[in-house]
Amino acid sequence: QKEVEQDPGPLSVPEGAIVSLNCTYSNSAFQYFMWYRQYSRKGPELLMYTYSSGNKEDGRFTAQVDKSSKYISLFIRDSQPSDSATYLCAMIPRLNSGGYQKVTFGIGTKLQVIP
Amino acid sequence: DAGITQSPRHKVTETGTPVTLRCHQTENHRYMYWYRQDPGHGLRLIHYSYGVKDTDKGEVSDGYSVSRSKTEDFLLTLESATSSQTSVYFCAISGPGLYGYTFGSGTRLTVV
């Protein structure tokens, strides 16, 4: 069993829809959770990050963590064609003051927003 | 991808030839990483570096070597390229107090 499970999709939604992207994980040591967005033929870029359980909102994006269920979600409101990309969840057990991070990634979910 | 560049962006090479990919950063970060990304496997760590001349293996290091002679440069070498090493290679950096990585734009390598 992988440490982080993520449905690879693809997920196709109409413009304006609410999108829900999810990951489950098995390692209870994970405390920091991230979402990366990767456009086609580009490197992943950090979209959002959260610490421990709860919600974090940034514009049309909301990241949600439920540590009791080992489940994290990314919600996109009023989705736009420009949101079409692959979204990777990622997590780490702690922030290293020296900068080293052993990041565990999900496989990524490919999202297509249809105009 | 401010602060981190990879070269070349694309490379086609023949089986059995050596190949070197370059990663250059301007952020002065101590930690640098090489990943490969493949359909069905996602991102997998090849090697990482925690300082000049200090490197360690990741989960898929067989067939790869790395070198870091300067803080800003991290090289990935395929000693004798095989078709199974056809992939997209990403370099990443991480710094103190920052979440996750900053990735480069990637190198698309095809071994024929």
Sort residue B41 into left (φ over 0), alpha (ψ -120 to 50) or beta. alpha
A21 reaches B (C-beta below 8 A): no
Please choose, from the candidates A34, A55, A47, A49, the residue with its C-alpha nearest in 3D space to the C-alpha of residue A83: A47
Domain-by-domain residue ranges, chain B? 4-98
Find out whether B15 and B112 touch, Cβ atoms under 8 Å: yes
Domain-by-domain residue ranges, chain A? 4-110
Q: What is the pLDDT of residues B87-96, one digit of tens each?
A: 999 999 998 7
Give me the residue from A36, A101, A106 closest to B94, CB to CB.
A101
Please choose, from the candidates A80, A30, A42, the residue with its C-alpha nearest in 3D space to the C-alpha of residue A60: A80
Q: What is the pLDDT of residues A35-89, one digit of tens each?
A: 999 999 999 999 999 988 889 999 999 999 999 999 999 999 999 999 999 999 9
* Cα–Cα distance, A31 to A57 (Å, whole number): 18
Q: What is the pLDDT of residues B5-53, one digit of tens each?
A: 999 999 999 999 999 999 999 999 999 999 999 999 999 999 999 999 9
Please choose, from the candidates A9, A17, A11, A24, the residue with its C-alpha nearest in 3D space to the C-alpha of residue A106: A24
If you search the block for the tokens 């959770």, which residue do you land on?
A33
A41 reaches B (C-beta below 8 A): yes
Please give the class, per CATH, of domain A4-110: mainly beta
Tell which of B34, B38, B43 to mutate to test the A interface (max A CBs under 10 Å): B43
Q: Residue A38 pairs with which residues in a beta bridge? A: A86
Q: What is the pLDDT of residues B69-92, one digit of tens each?
A: 999 999 999 999 999 999 999 999
DSSP for chain A, please give it. Answer: --SEE-----EEEETT--EEEEEEE--TT--EEEEEEE-TTS--EEEEEEESSEEEEETTEEEEEETTTTEEEEEESS--GGG-EEEEEEEES---TTS----EE---EEEEEE-
| pLDDT beyond 80 at A96 | no
User: Which H or E element spans position B46?
Assistant: strand B42-51
Q: What percent of chain A has pLDDT over 70?
A: 100
Domain B4-98 has CATH 2.70.150.10: no
